[in-house]
Amino acid sequence: MTYHGHIENGTIILDQAPQYPNGTEVEVAVTVVGPAQPHAENKLNSLYERWHAFIGIAEGLPEDFAENHDYYAHGGTMR
């Protein structure tokens, strides 16, 4: 049986999951069938590109929230 997939962060990801019971012993032989294709989710965007839709929408925060965010988020000590 031949399964197709791709490598993601050093792990083989199969396009279709095999239907064998847990514990079945298998042998895997890798044959490269083409060059790596970039996936849209693998594109590294800047923090601005990822979060720009959220910039400036928070309302009602304390004036010192940026400086004391640990205190407000986790109960840390204030500066």
The domain tally of the chain equals 1
Is the residue at 43 inside a domain? yes
Q: In which domain, by residue range, is 55 found? A: 5-74
pLDDT tens per residue across span 10-69: 888 899 988 889 999 988 888 888 887 766 665 667 888 888 888 888 899 888 988 988
Inside any domain, residue 79: no
CA quadruple 63, 67, 69, 70: dihedral sign: negative
Report the C-alpha dihedral over residues 58, 61, 64, 67, rounded to 10 degrees: -50
pTM: 0.38
